[in-house]
Amino acid sequence: MFAFAEATWRLRTQTVDTRDHTLIMGVVNVTPDSFSDGGSFPAADGVGSIDHDAAIEHGRRLVGDGADIIDVGGESTRPGAEAVDVAEELHRVVPVVEVLAAEGIIVSVDTSKAEVAEAALLAGAEIVNDVTGLRDPAMVEVCAALGPGVVIMHMCGDPRSMQDAPHYDDVVDEVRDYLVTQGDAAIAVGIDPARLCLDPGIGFGKTVSHNLELLAGLGVITAAGYPVLIGTSRKSFLGVVLGRAGRLTAPPDRDGASAATAALAVAAGASIVRAHNVAATLESTRIADAIVRSATNVI
């Protein structure tokens, strides 16, 4: 009835299995300017530095709420965001990764920089979540050498330009073809196909209609056979849809809408959903799992 993608995903030192339930990737943005929760971890001096202890504690809380993976990012990818230099991103990310990984938490590093990915992996991260989809040959080399799980995401342009009139003739087919092509290229240079995961990049160089079409056609992407990650949490297209219904929302007000899209992604065969509000997402995905997976796995 439902076409699920590959049920296991091989990471740097372990393999995760999604046959029992959809995995939840909790978000820890160690940034001052992320669209949803930037500035959540300012240092006590109030001068724009990062309170690593607060970010670490937030990661622990997300695990307590049911997150299977914690995704740590040090550079905002909101539309129009300014680039962060390597040294600053390393300063933000690596101390958080190191502590959470040492506690046995599966950590993903959300970065497009090969230097940051390498440092985070050496600090204990299991996954590289690259929003630029392995465009940088140096990132491909790091992933091939250190063997993490790798999320290949589709993005049209870059965070500074991606919402400048994005156009597709068929967004579902074009995104799927891009992801499969990038996966094939990664495999050709030595990355184990069992380590790859695809992300259609909801909100990254897409209009509201493109995002809705991708979610409606998600089965086309899960049919490629790789684990698929979906990140809709608190994104602006949800705000637009809710606004049409007369409800004006800030990003933290969209957790119910986010949970609804997570449940629909599960029904379409997604293996991992990325979320800010893990507790709400756990409820929606477990109910979706109970409906679309074998009852013996959930009862």
189 backbone dihedrals φ, ψ, rounded to 5°: -105, 10
CA pair distance 239, 235, nearest whole angstrom: 7
In this prediction, residue 5 has a pLDDT band, given cuts at 50, 70 and 90, of: low
Question: Which two three-digit tokens encode residue 171?
Answer: 């967004």
In this prediction, residue 7 has a pLDDT band, given cuts at 50, 70 and 90, of: confident
pLDDT at site 82: 74
pLDDT at site 166: 76
160 backbone dihedrals φ, ψ, rounded to 5°: -80, -20
Strands 8-10 and 15-17 come out as antiparallel
| Residues carrying an active site annotation | 235, 274
Among 32-36, 196-200, 238-242, 256-260, which is the least confidently predicted range? 32-36
Q: Is the pLDDT of residue 35 over 80?
A: no
Crossing angle for the helix pair 114-122 and 137-146, to the nearest 10 degrees: 20
CA pair distance 259, 277, nearest whole angstrom: 9
Widest Cα–Cα separation across the chain: 55
For 46-105, the pLDDT digits (tens) are: 435 679 999 999 999 999 999 999 999 999 876 666 788 999 999 999 999 999 999 999
pLDDT at site 167: 81
275 backbone dihedrals φ, ψ, rounded to 5°: -145, 145
Residue 296 or 281, more confident: 281
- On whether the 24-229 domain is CATH 3.20.20.20, my answer is yes
pTM of the shown model: 0.91
Average pLDDT of the residues in 155-174 = 76
Residues 6+ apart with CB under 8 A from 28: 55, 58, 59, 62, 70, 71, 72, 73, 96
Average pLDDT of the residues in 260-289 = 97
Q: Is the pLDDT of residue 270 over 50?
A: yes
Residue whose tokens read 């992801």: 179
Query: What are the extents of the domains in the chain?
Result: 24-229
Contact 108, 82 (CB under 8 A): no
Question: Which two three-digit tokens encode residue 3?
Answer: 């076409």
Q: What share of the chain is helix, strand, coil (3-state, %, to 5)?
A: 45, 15, 40
Average pLDDT of the residues in 264-288 = 97
For 185-244, the pLDDT digits (tens) are: 999 999 999 999 999 999 999 999 999 999 999 999 999 999 999 999 999 999 999 999
Mean confidence (pLDDT) of the chain: 90
